[in-house]
Chain A
Amino acid sequence: MEIGEEKAGEALVIAPFGRVDSVSSGELERHVVGRLDAGARRVVIDLARVEYISSAGLRVLLIAAKRLKPPQGALALCGLGPSVRTVLELAGFMSLFAVEPGREQALARVGGASTT
């Protein structure tokens, strides 16, 4: 799976691309955990280019949320399409994440610098 990345000041934006299913979620998990292990503390996961996310993919978001619990870290999601939003809602997880419409708002939410 393709995973885009952008540094915005102290914050890191991770933007997976395509389907996050039981196969590709392993790759996303390794990527995200690798960044967290390397010390990333303000993270935005931009799901704008994710067309589908399975429960295995939700697990990766949960891992990030657990490891970036305030005040040690900050995580925000953005760019949720209807399908991704539905999966998050069905699992009862919407309340667990800071969700913003776009990358700018999400970066502001985690206290990172604006990219513009």
Chain B
Amino acid sequence: MSPLFLRVEPRDGEPFRHELVGEAAVLGRSSKADVVLADRYLSRQHARLFLREGSWFLEDLGSRNTTFLNDRPLAKPTPVRPGDVIRLAESRIVVEGKEGTPLSPPAGDGLVGGADERLPESTIFRSATDLLAGPAAGADPGGLAGRLRLLNEVHRALAAPITLEALLDLILDRAFAHLQPEEGAVFLRDPEGALVRAAMRRAPGLPGQPLYSRALAKEVSEKGLAALVTDARVDERFAKAESIVVSGMRSLVAAPLLDSEGCLGMIVLSAKNRLHPFVEDDLELLAALASAAAMRLRNIALSEETARRRLLDRELELAHDIQMAMLPRTFPDRPGIDVSAALRPARSVGGDLYDVMADGERIWLLVGDVSGKGVGAALFMAVTKTLFRAIAPGSGSVAEAVARMNRELCRDNERAMFVTVFAARLELATGELEYVNAGHNPTYRVTAGGKVALLAGPVDPALGAVEAHEYRGTRLRLDAGDALVLYTDGVVEAHGAAEEEFQTPRLESYLADCREASAERIVQGLLEHVDEFVGGAPQYDDVTIVALRWRGRQS
């Protein structure tokens, strides 16, 4: 037989643990009892636990106010098991199977039982909204005065700004002043809708933790009902019901924190003092307090939400600034070339990128577009851009540089992010161009004669997708006066009215007019064209354009 332990929570003393040994143990107020409980309402020898055929049984020893096992009065010797709760007068004993569980229950939501547990029939439910409509005819004028006074106090206190903690404190403070409970708790719904105990207050000297029925909480918070449980312990019907009130409470009022938007939680007050069980006036008062508090709670929740959103906005703004700062605004000032670029993100941060850098007598160009949108794409963009700066200068060829970037981007890329890029390198002296297209929109070449053509060549996979891929470079020699226009799909897929896209023919006809324009004019003019096409519609994707004109060898 495994040993049994008792976690004893006497009314008037500190909780302690007792191991059941021998054949029997008498529980009572007498110092001669085996388990002595400091509880003035206990009989001297109140109950007895005894061993029979390997099991521990509990019997009442003819006590004044009987012995309860799991909230049922004990009629005959009954076996006890770990998890059972014995109640003697105002003291509570929990039967445990092993030593070492903490004396106070672990901090949870403060709710026990199942949501479909039966509530005692002595429970009275009232619609909180009806209660607030005003006292019924013939209501106690004293109760009305108390309610008005309470509301006045609360409204006065709530006129000033208040934190959530201070508000919860105020609610419990006013509830204790007007309703004199022994325990009170405020439960709030968390974002998932579960009730969580947000504040609790108890009269000094009470053992254990107050725990409230989940079934009751469900009724109150989901149906917006205020509940009154009168002296449940003396209610005969209570014996048939499952435990609603665990820690020996006998009277309880609960009201939902209800406003026009819905229920934010509930307030529960409980009292053991049998001389003053709660009455319906108390319920009205609590419902009024809860309603005043609910409005303010909603405001606090809203302003916290606003503050969170503002913080997030600021973070995104910062990310936007950092991302934009990664893109060059000034371009290599070399004789013989004219370069310009622009990137316009659709959101605060995006996945497009470009770069233009000098490497001796060469110029590197890069335009890219990361899969997806938002912060993830922005981070991948930053990595791509950084790799390009680190790898490209000094590389033997564009294909080699792109292959190295790809290997780095494939590393630990569990989320299968990828970036399409068009990378190119121009020899300033000769106009010789090498380029790689890794899944990107092909670049346009606008000749001095006004001919617009795509740069031909193989399309290799976007970077980050295939680790061992051999990227293929294509070479060609520019003629003096030729311009290159690199861009991302945000240009050609810009949505105009009626979901129509900008498309390449529009781009090509624009470029055909650009044979003499400066690089900056090409870029800005294209942005204007796209803007005009899109009209007022929100920008759907990042838009990036890079233009470079090679004027030929300058001596």
Contacts and interface: CB of A to CB of B under 8 A. Distances in A.
B210 interface: no
A111 to B, nearest CB: 23
A22 B420 CA distance: 16
Contact of A92 (B415, B417, B459): B459
Given A55-B420, A96-B466, A22 B459 contact: no
Interface string A54-85: 01101110110010000000000000000000
A38 B465 CA distance: 24
A61 B465 CA distance: 11
Contacts of B437: 92
A55 B459 contact: no
Contacts of A55: 369-372, 418, 420
Interface of B: 369-373, 415-418, 420, 437-441, 459-462, 465-466
Nearest to A56: B372
14 contacts: A22-B372, A22-B373, A55-B370, A56-B372, A56-B373, A59-B417, A59-B418, A62-B465, A63-B416, A90-B441, A90-B459, A91-B420, A92-B437, A95-B461
Contacts of A90: 420, 439-441, 459
A116 B304 CA distance: 59
Q: Main SS of chain A's interface residues?
A: helix
B372 A92 contact: no
Given A59-B416, A59-B417, A89 B459 contact: yes
A92 B416 contact: no
Q: Ordered nearest first, which 5 A-B pairs have the shortest CB separation?
A: A55-B371, A91-B439, A92-B439, A62-B416, A92-B461
A91 B418 contact: yes
Contacts of A56: 371-373
Contacts of A22: 372-373
A20 to B, nearest CB: 12
Given A92-B459, A96-B461, A58 B438 contact: no
Nearest to A66: B416
Given A59-B417, A92-B437, A93-B461, 18 more contacts: A22-B372, A22-B373, A55-B370, A55-B371, A55-B420, A56-B373, A59-B372, A59-B415, A59-B418, A60-B416, A62-B465, A63-B416, A89-B459, A90-B439, A91-B439, A91-B462, A92-B420, A92-B439
Nearest to B440: A90
A25 B462 CA distance: 18
B439 A62 contact: no
Interface string A37-61: 0000000000000000001101110
Give the one of B415, B420, B465 with max A CB within 10 A. B465
B421 to A, nearest CB: 10
Nearest to B458: A92
Contacts of B371: 55-56, 58-59
Contact of B418 (A25, A62, A89, A95): A62
Given A59-B417, A63-B415, A92 B460 contact: yes
A95 B465 CA distance: 11
A60 B372 CA distance: 11
Contacts of A59: 371-372, 415-418
Nearest to B370: A55
Contact of A93 (B369, B417, B465): B465
B373 A93 contact: no
Nearest to A60: B416
A91 B439 CA distance: 3
A22 B374 CA distance: 10
Contacts of B416: 59-60, 62-63, 66
Contacts of B460: 92
B403 to A, nearest CB: 13
Chain B CB within 10 Å — which of A58, A90, A91, A95 has the most? A91
